[in-house]
């Protein structure tokens, strides 16, 4: 990830996500990292624009990934988000975690 935020590919994400059923998600981002906060705010705005619902937001000291998508099951929305992230060069850590109640998006330290 170069520069602040997700870059120009983020604009396409709303269109892609509007074509699939909306999800509810949790958002975690690294504490004391300005870029992680900026990215969290960007992704939240895009997901809200696509009709997704945020359940919780948390600032955490040791995020599990630089950019992680952890979900209890694979849905069309999660697949769309994951494929977008891969095509955008974000190298997401995407894992199925059956113990989670819903999608968890993690934005770790970027610096």
DSSP string, 7-28: -TTHHHHHHHHHTS---EEEEE
Instruction: Retrieve residue 88's tokens.
Output: 């955008």
The answer, yes or no, to whether residue 9 has pLDDT greater than 80, is no
Length of the chain (residues)? 111
pLDDT digits (tens, 9 = 90+) for 36-92: 999 999 999 999 999 999 999 999 998 978 999 999 999 999 999 999 999 988 899
Q: In Å, how far are 33, 43, 71, 108 from 103, measured between CA atoms?
A: 22, 14, 4, 16
In this prediction, residue 5 carries a pLDDT of 64
Residue spans per domain, the chain: 10-55+62-107
Q: How far apart are the C-alpha atoms of 11 and 77, rounded to whole Å?
A: 16
Q: How far apart are the C-alpha atoms of 107 and 88, rounded to whole Å?
A: 15
Nearest to 90 by CA among 19, 53, 42, 56: 42
Q: How far apart are the C-alpha atoms of 82 and 73, rounded to whole Å?
A: 13
């Amino acid at each position: 990830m170069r520069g602040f935020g997700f870059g120009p590919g983020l604009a396409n994400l709303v269109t892609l996500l509007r074509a699939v059923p909306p999800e509810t998600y949790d958002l975690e981002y690294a504490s004391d990292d300005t870029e992680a906060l900026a990215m969290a705010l960007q992704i939240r705005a895009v997901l809200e624009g696509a009709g997704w619902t945020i359940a919780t937001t948390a600032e955490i000291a040791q995020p599990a990934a630089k950019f992680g998508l952890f979900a209890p099951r694979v849905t069309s929305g999660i697949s769309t988000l994951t494929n977008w992230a891969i095509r955008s060069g974000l190298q997401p850590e995407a894992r199925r975690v059956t113990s989670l109640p819903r999608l968890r998006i993690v934005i770790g330290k970027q610096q």
